[in-house]
Amino acid sequence: MSTSGEDLTLVWFRDDLRVADHEALTAARADGRVIAVWIRETRDEEGLGPRPLGGACRWWAHESLTVLHEELSDLGIPLLFAAGRAEKIIVQLASSLGVTAVRWTRRYASASRALDGQIKTVLNDQGFTVHSHTGALLVEPWTAAPQSSDHYKVFTPFWKAVAGRDVGDVLPKPQAQSPLSQTLLSRAHECPAVMELDGLGLLDGTETGAGEAAAASGPRWWQDTIAGHWSPGLRAAEDQLDDLSAIIDGYTTSKDVPSDAASTSRLSPRLRHGELSPRQLLQAARTTSSLTQDDRAAWIRQLYWREFSWHLTYHYPHIDSAPIRPEFHNFPYEDDDDALTHWRAGTTGYPLIDAGMAQLWQTGWMHNRVRMVTASFLTKNLLQHWWFGEQWFWDTLVDADEANNPVSWQWVAGSGADAAPYFRVFNPERQRERFDPDDAYIDDWLPYTPATAPPPLVDLRQSRQAALSAYDHMKNRSTTRDNPGES
C-alpha cells in the first residue's frame, strides 16, 4: 500500500506506446498517481508470453519508447524499463513499490493471454487489484460470432456485423501528476531486471525473430537503412493523425499503385506499436468532412480487416505455424534453400518481386499490393512453405504483428480462413503491367540494371501449373484420408 495517502498504480505498457486514448493510463490517473513499466519479455518454459520482436520492430520499439519516456516524464510519470520474465518482474515491482493496483491493455494472442491470466491470479492472491482494459481493438474477439459458430471465418459477414458498433469516445491525454519521491524510484531500480532503455538490447541484434523458430540466416541489423525512412514515436504519429484527411484522400483509386508514396496511409506501424489507437483513427476518418464517401469507406474497411485478423488469431492459437484449413497439412511444399535465398535477397529475376524485396530490406515496409505478389510467388511459383515467408516478414517489417502477418500469409497461400482461391496465382509480370506500367516503382527499388539482371528463377507458366498440380495432390490425399475404406 502506498504511504503517500494517495493510491499508486503500476501501469504496464506493452504494444500501446501512447498517452492519449489509453484506458489503463486514464483509469490509473483517476485513482491517484502512476508509475509505468515496459518489459522486453522472455517467454517462460511453456512458451507463454508474446512472440519475440523481429529486428525491424525492435528498432521501432526502442525509438518509440524514447519518445514515450519523454512524454510520460512531462506528465510526472516515471517509465521504468526491464527485461526478462514478466510474471516475475511485475509481481516484484508491485510488491517493492507498494502499489494498490496494476493495470494494462489487453492482449489477444493465445500465449500472451495465458500469461496475463497467470500474472493476474498471482497478483490477486497477493492482495493487489488488477484491471485489464480495451484499447488495442475496436471489436474484442469474443464479442462477435454468427449464430452457427463461435467465430467468423469470412471477412464480409464479420464486417457487416461489427462495422456499426459504437466504440466509445477517444480519451484525452491525462493530467500531469506531482512527482514521485526519489525513495520510491530508488526502490524500483533495486529490482534486478530494471535497467536503462539502452540496456534492453533492442538495438544490438540479439534474439532475432522468433528465437529457435526464426530462419537460420536471419537479417543483419540494418538500423541505418530503416532510420532514414521513419520517425517512430507518438508525436510523429499524432502529426499523421492530424493530417489524416490528406492521407486518405484519393485512397480508392491509388491504393494499389506501389509507386505512389501517398497511395497508402503508412499508419500500420503506428497501430502495431500502439502509438495510435484504432479508435483514434476511426473517429478521425469518420469526422473528417473533406473526404469522399468512397475513400472514407474503403479506408475504414481496412481498419476492420485488421480487427478480423485479430478475431482469427484469438480463435486459432497456432495461426503463425499451423494452417487454418487442416488439409494444408498435406500440401507438398518443396525444400529448396536456394530458392528461399534468392527470394529474400531479391534476385529472382522478376523485377516487381525483386523491387519489393529491396524496398522491404531498405525501409522495413512494403506496399500491400507487392506484399501479395511476393507472397504468392514464394508459396506458389517456388512452392515454399508460407511459414518461411512469414518468418522473414516478421523479422524485416516495422509493422509485423502477431495477427496481420500470419493471417495475410495464410490468405495468400490458400490455407487461411476466407483465403484467396488457390488457383489465384499472382503473375508478377501482369501485376507489373497493371499496377506499375511505367516502371516507376521498379526504377525506385530494383537493385540491379537490365544488364546485370539475374535470370528468372522459374518459368511462370510451368511453375503455376506445378502449383496447381500440388494442390490437386493435396486434395486427393485429403479425400483419401477422409474415406479410410478406400485403398
Cα–Cα dist 265/119, whole Å:
37
Cα–Cα dist 213/211, whole Å:
5
Same domain flag for 296 and 335: no
Q: Does 440 show up as a binding residue in the annotation? A: no
| pLDDT at 395 exceeding the cut of 60 | yes
218: in domain = no
Same domain flag for 354 and 305: no
Q: Does 267 show up as a binding residue in the annotation? A: yes
206: in domain = no
- DSSP class of residue 380? I
Cα–Cα dist 301/429, whole Å:
28
Task: Work out the pLDDT band at 221, boundaries 50, 70, 90.
Answer: low
Q: How many CB atoms lie within 10 A of CB 465?
A: 12
Cα–Cα dist 60/115, whole Å:
24
Same domain flag for 124 and 35: yes
Q: Does 399 show up as a binding residue in the annotation? A: yes
Give the domain extent around 78.
Answer: 1-136
| pLDDT at 42 exceeding the cut of 80 | yes
266: in domain = yes
Dihedral sign from CA coordinates of 167, 172, 173, 176: negative
Q: What is the pLDDT of residues 71-104, one digit of tens each?
A: 999 999 999 999 999 999 999 999 999 999 999 9
- Average pLDDT for 137-149: 96
pLDDT at 289: 83
- Domain boundary residue, one of 315, 349, 369: 315
Same domain flag for 292 and 337: no
Cα–Cα dist 75/228, whole Å:
30
What CATH number corresponds to the domain at position 300?
1.25.40.80
Cα–Cα dist 315/152, whole Å:
9
Q: Does 312 show up as a binding residue in the annotation? A: no
Same domain flag for 277 and 408: no
Same domain flag for 334 and 457: yes
Q: How many CB atoms lie within 10 A of CB 395?
A: 23
Same domain flag for 33 and 110: yes
Q: Does 265 show up as a binding residue in the annotation? A: yes
Dihedral sign from CA coordinates of 160, 162, 168, 170: negative
Cβ contact 438:401 at 8 Å: no
Q: Does 401 show up as a binding residue in the annotation? A: yes
Q: Alpha helix (H) ranges present in 163-267?
A: 182-189, 223-227, 234-242, 244-248, 251-254
What CATH number corresponds to the domain at position 130?
3.40.50.620
Q: Where are the beta strands (DSSP E) in 134-231?
A: 194-195
For the whole model, what pTM was predicted? 0.94
Same domain flag for 388 and 260: no
- Average pLDDT for 177-183: 94
421: in domain = yes
- Average pLDDT for 426-444: 97
Phi then psi for residue 33, to 5 deg, are -100, 165
Same domain flag for 379 and 444: yes
Task: Work out the pLDDT band at 209, boundaries 50, 70, 90.
Answer: very low
Cα–Cα dist 270/252, whole Å:
21
> Which position has the grid cell 480462413?
417
487: in domain = no
Same domain flag for 300 and 394: no
Overall domain count for the chain = 3
Q: Does 304 show up as a binding residue in the annotation? A: no
Q: Are strands 7-13 and 101-105 parallel, antiparallel or unpaired?
A: parallel
From the list 239, 293, 289, the residue with the least C-alpha distance to 267 is: 239
